[in-house]
Amino acid sequence: MSYFKTLARSFSYALAAFGVISASEADMTLKRALNPLQGGQISPTPIDVQKLCFESLRKISGTFDKERLHRACQFAKVLPGCQSTLGEPIFYFEKLASSSNSAKKILTMSLIHGDETSSGTVSRSWISRLVDLDSRNSWRVIPIVNPDGFKANTRTNANKVDVNRNFPTANWESQAIARWKRSKNSDPRRYPGPSPASEKETQCLLKHFSDFQPDFIISVHTPLGILDFDGPKHLSFPKFSPLPWISLGNYPGSLGRYMWKDRQVPVLTIELKGSEGISRLEEFDRLQDISGTVAIQSDRYLRSKNRRQKPKTKKVQSEARNQARPESVSGT
Ligand SMILES: [Zn+2]
């Protein structure tokens, strides 16, 4: 152990011994200090982030193109302050549309639940594809929202909080804890946290929402094997045979509740079936193109709905008629 590590260990345990911090806080302080990509005060260098991106994503099983992933990871970045509870950087990849006229901004995330490993296959496949593609939309992808849960293979983060129940929804204070106790029997896997947005991982996502201002959000999970959409209901959803469209509703503190119900930004939840679900790269490509299509349709619908509330013009009337028209499924 290096001199620095020995010093960090002695110091954190001395603080605990003198009662300045608790033993568990001492343990947490030590873990942060020993993290090679230590969050804390030091920002990771781009090389660190590239390496972290490639080394983390290659651990997820399934088919992928190593060389393309390597190239995609060269564009990995971290927003200031975006670290996990234990100080691991939460990296992202971004590819802007070549023409910005009608492009939508789509934010994709996976592994908000750290034990849903195969949800990371979607992000890995999409960033590897985007690196060589002229895309019709602008994409930002956060492959591992909950790196501590991913490492420990737990649904929750290092504070044992379900990050997807920790968003500061309008009904969090009044309902999150009560509903967790009542309908989930205080299931520890679904604990919403001590207060809204108490978790570093949630705070990081809030930074992304304000930095990227997404028009559409995609969150990837396992294992229900469906596509669940929190957004306008009257769209013509393109068929994707491996995963049917089924609406599940949402919870206090969940992403769908926070972005769609409270903010009118549609959220598509992709629930894979697990590692036996979609596996071929063509299926991932098609799923991405379908998602891009639903993003465009949703935006068109919401814009025409907003305009309908203002005095009508011929142009607005024809847009309203076209709002549910299926978009071609290509080009992401
Ligand atoms: Zn999940």
CA of 112 to the centre of ligand 1 (A): 7
Read off the CATH number of the domain in which 236 is found. 3.40.630.10
Please tell me the predicted confidence (pLDDT) of residue 314.
53
Q: Which pLDDT band holds residue 100 (cuts at 50, 70, 90)?
A: confident
User: Does residue 189 sit in helix, strand or coil?
Assistant: helix
Cβ atoms of 271 and 252 within 8 Å: the answer is no
- DSSP class of residue 261? I
Same domain, 113 and 26: no
Question: Ligand 1 mean position to 305 CA, how many Å?
Answer: 32
The range of the structural domain enclosing residue 196 comes to: 43-322
* 4 and 142 housed in the same domain: no
Distance 254 CA to ligand 1 centre (A): 11
What is the CA(219)–ligand 1 centre distance, in A?
9
Residues 62 and 194 in one domain: yes
Q: Which of 115-124, 221-230, 270-279, 311-320 has the lowest mean pLDDT?
A: 311-320
How far is it, in rounded angstroms, from Cα 111 to Cα 121? 10
Distance CA 84, CA 200 (A): 6
Distance (Å, whole) CA 213 – CA 24:
37
Looking at the fold, whether 52 and 115 belong to one and the same domain comes out as yes
Could you tell me the distance, in angstroms and rounded to a whole number, from the CA of residue 163 to the centre of ligand 1?
10
315 C-alpha to ligand 1 centroid (Å): 42
Q: At what angle do helices 281-308 and 120-130 cross, to 10 degrees?
A: 90
Q: How sure is the predictor about 63, in pLDDT bands with cuts at 50, 70 and 90?
A: confident
How far does residue 223's CA lie from ligand 1's centre (Å)?
Answer: 8
52-61 pLDDT, tens digit each:
999 999 999 8
pLDDT tens digits for range 251-306: 999 999 999 999 999 999 999 987 666 777 888 899 999 999 999 999 999 998 88
Q: What percent of the chain has pLDDT over 90?
A: 64
Of 26-30, 79-83, 271-275, the poorest mean pLDDT is in 26-30
Overall number of domains in the chain: 2
State the average pLDDT over residues 185-198: 97
The rounded Å distance from CA 289 to ligand 1 centre is: 22
CA end-to-end distance (rounded Å), the chain: 48
Q: Is the ipTM of this complex over 0.90?
A: yes
Q: Same domain for 312 and 185?
A: yes
240 inside domain: yes
